[in-house]
Amino acid sequence: MTAAPRSSLPSPQGAPVAGHLGRWGKEPLTLLEEGAALGEAFELRLWRRAVVGYSTAWNRTVLGDLDTFRSRGSLSGMTPYLNGGVVMTDPPAHAERRAQLNPHFHATALAPLRERLARTVDRELPRGSFDTVAWSLRVVPALLNEAFFGGSFPPALLAHFLAPLHRPLPGPLLPRPVRFARVRRQIARRMGHAPEGALVNELAHLPGAAEEVRVSLAAGFDTTSHTLSWALWFLASHPDARNQEALPRLIKETQRLYPAGWLGSRVTSRPFTFEGRTFPRGLLVFYSPYLTHRHPDLWRNPASFEPDRFASRPPAWGYIPFAAGPRACLGMHLARMMLEVALEPFLAGTLEAVDGDPRPRTGLTLAPRGPLQVRWDPRA
């Protein structure tokens, strides 16, 4: 089976020699949007040839076939924070590993954590005027600490471990062996010995559980904190959404407009054919929740914040804030619970947006440029 010629896909403007690499480092969202305007699949010349797609058919192809589209060699492997555990496990071992982990991260299994997480939020609640970005970066590690360790992990070490994930690139990509070793030792000490109900106790019997926990902490930190920052800003800006029934829709709409995982990648283990084009083995393949979530054929007024659009079911393979298929994010139920619990107190009293810059900036995940200043009076 032969590969399609390089000219078979459209490509946005790039430099003659460096291709798109310079623009990728400075303005990746603009580059992606330009490519999307050319077609639902387009080519980029980065450090290697890459193909980006964002249609529902593309998402189904890439996310549904784990054997062809592998994690090993993808962008996740470039950061030591995500290069391990089930995130980087490919077939045939992947299915067994997910089967071992899934029961512990199912919504039903996590439900007993909700009350403890709510108490954690209560201890961290701000008063008056505050920056949602700064507050989210503080409260999410506390929630992860409670969920995984019953609050027993040293908070300063956890904050020190997670902090680079919020920094611009290349911060999250740099190796930090001493820091990682300290965290692994602390996780191992708590396996089976944390307070009752902590996730590390439930996972202690699994081989490699400490590494899974380390990766889960990293994967759950900046994704959830950045989403929470935006969601709280939108909650302050849209008083009609400030009720318990509307809250899940507000969270979903936040994740539609600003999916923390704005881009995902795979590497092909063999040639594949998509819509009449054949692509080679070893190709770097991207899918983009950011582009899919703004596809005008899938979403009415895609650039507008309209939570009520989630009163009906979103398009299949067209809403993928936690990816989809066999590799759907293991921690999506925990992330949703943390977001709901963190936002619920702000449904009471008065909450108003003061000033801020909600435009996205790209890094390992999508984050608000910020700050996002709001004012909350719980007694009003």
The residues near 68 (Cβ < 8 Å, ≥ 6 apart) are: 268, 269, 270, 272
Q: Count CB-CB contacts under 10 A for residue 56.
A: 18
**Dihedral sign, Cα of residue 59, residue 61, residue 64, residue 67:** negative
Query: Over 80: is that where the pLDDT of 2 sits?
Result: no
**Vertex 151 angle, CA 148 and 154, to 5°:** 100
In this prediction, residues 328-333 reach a mean pLDDT of: 97
- Average confidence score pLDDT of the chain: 96
CB atoms under 10 Å from CB of 174, counted, come to 11
Greatest pairwise CA separation for the chain in angstroms? 68
Could you give the CA distance from residue 373 to residue 378 in angstroms, rounded to a whole number? 16
Contact 37, 13 (CB under 8 A): no
Name 170's Cβ contacts closer than 8 Å, sequence gap at least 6: none
Please count the residues of the chain: 380
Task: Flag whether pLDDT at 102 surpasses 80.
Answer: yes
Nearest C-alpha neighbor of 350 from the set 242, 261, 270, 234: 242
Pairing of strands 49-53, 284-287: parallel
Strands, DSSP E only, in the chain? 41-45, 49-53, 69-70, 128-131, 264-268, 272-274, 277-279, 284-287, 350-356, 360-362, 366-368, 372-377
Burial class for 154, CB neighbours closer than 10 Å (0-12, 13-18, 19+): middle
The pTM (predicted TM-score) of the whole model is 0.96
pLDDT digits over 104-157, tens only? 999 999 999 999 999 999 999 998 999 999 999 999 999 999 999 999 999 999
Q: Tell me the C-alpha distance between 298 and 350, whole Å.
A: 35
- Mean pLDDT value of segment 282-307: 98
Residues 333, 105 contacting (CB under 8 angstroms): yes
3-state secondary structure of 164: helix
CB 311 within 8 A of CB 199: no
Residue 256: its pLDDT value, please? 98
DSSP state for residue 198 in the 8-state scheme: -
Render pLDDT for 144-180 as a digit per residue (tens, 0 to 9): 999 999 999 999 999 999 999 999 999 999 999 999 9
Percent of the chain with pLDDT over 90: 97
* Tokens describing residue 199: 């996730």
- Residues 36-63 have pLDDT tens digits of 999 999 999 999 999 999 999 999 999 9
Q: How big is the CA angle at 351 (ends 219 and 341), to the nearest 5 degrees?
A: 35
User: Whole-angstrom Cα distance, residue 85 to residue 342?
Assistant: 28
